[in-house]
Amino acid sequence: MQQLFIALVLLVLGVNANIHPDIIEDAHLDSLGLLRKYGYPAEEHIIETDDGYLLGLHRCPGSPASPEAVGKPVVLLQHGMLSSSADYILMGPQTSLVYMLADAGYDVWMGNARGNRYSNRHRSRNNETQQFWDFSWHEVGSIDVPNMIDYILAQTGQQQLQYVGHSQGTTVFWVMMSEHPYYNRRVKSAHMLAPAAYMHHTRSPYVIFLATFLYTTELMLQMMGTHYFAPTNEMDIQGGLEQCHDGAPNQQMCTINTFLIAGFNTQEVNFTMLPVIHAHSPAGASAMQMIHHGQTTRSRIFRRYDHGIAINNIRYGQPTPPRYDFSNVQAPTFLYHSTNDWLAAPEDVELLRQELPNVHKTYLVRMREFNHMDFVWAINVRSLLYDELLADLQANA
């Protein structure tokens, strides 16, 4: 009934009738709706962080192949920049990681960082104010992720969980362990997809532009009163359905922005799913998160947010931001990277590997064209990466 209703509404609005109803429906369903549509149990848990943000923590506790049960191994999936839990869900049961892990017997939890569409509320701050958006990925790592882990372990009765992060989902892990090394006891193993810390060798024109014109960009955003990047809305979804569906004259143009950020790889693009991808991404983030990455690229130092000398002296007791301490990352760590990643370049991953004290494995995806977003959206991501990831998770459960 819901599928028919959506199709009729979009028909009235003028959306191309040749678009498959499943694509239309998946573009409009949220993360929980997608899981339930394909027969997987789904839960949303709202947790309050230590500083008052209300986070939507999503859970898939079982699957048709492995029903919900007490005592299952627990895994937390953390998304990248401008993304959400949907990254691990939207490509469907034959591709996305959450289904694979649930079928393999895991109790799967998916975090949503403050500021995205599922974590866009605060106990007392209005999400249209600058005060609400006064955070970078430092706060996601130092506050959000530790609070998620505490909640998940309390709910499941487990002592430890396994962690999987993609892109910024890895960045915030380094932050958490640097700031709160206690959490090494709570993480059995950490599996990092496109691990992001240093960005000396980025090839993304967007990131290079941001780093080059960092202070101009920051001033311009302040003058415009822009504190955040909004998630997709209904107009964006309609546009994606119209412009990116199979048979659309300019469908391939729908990949350009992603390629200019992540690296070009047409081989692994599921063009049919482009309207669904564009409906769920971007999912929202603060401007400070973007600027923090620009600062890292420009300074070539992995450190806390640079507020300027005056505020740094007040916040940090010194004129420059403190560096993050990689020696505190003691949990067994697995790095999965690719040659054609324009954000987590092989040279930068190697630099990171040298600084981490407990790397158990470094895995290079065996496709030269594999890019930054292929880690979650590629057609053959299971055979190219997830089979290896699952074997490592099971060996270290």
190 has pLDDT over 90: yes
Q: How confident is the model at residue 213 (pLDDT cuts 50, 70, 90)?
A: confident
Picking from 162, 129, 127, 169, the residue whose alpha carbon sits closest to that of residue 145 is 169
Q: How many residues does the structure list for the chain? A: 397
The predicted model gives 34-49 an average pLDDT of 98
The predicted model gives 200-213 an average pLDDT of 90
Domain 20-395, what fold? Rossmann fold (3.40.50)
Domain ranges of the chain: 20-395
Both tokens of 31, joined, read: 């993360």
Residue 348 pLDDT = 97
Q: What's the mean per-residue pLDDT of the chain?
A: 93
Residue 308 pLDDT = 92
Specify the range with the lowest mean pLDDT, choosing from 56-65, 143-152, 207-216, 257-266.
207-216
337 phi and psi angles, rounded to 5 deg: -140, 180
Which amino acid makes up residue 117? R
Catalytic residues: 167, 372
Taking every pair of Cα atoms in the chain, the longest distance, rounded to a whole number of angstroms, is 61
Per-residue pLDDT tens over the stretch 326-355: 999 999 999 999 999 999 999 999 999 999
Per-residue pLDDT tens over the stretch 361-379: 999 999 999 999 999 999 9
* pTM exceeds 0.85, yes or no: yes
Q: Strand, coil or helix: what is 101? A: helix
14 has pLDDT over 50: no
d(CA 353, CA 140): 22
Q: Across 94-231, where does the E strand assignment appear?
A: 107-110, 121-122, 161-166, 187-193, 228-229
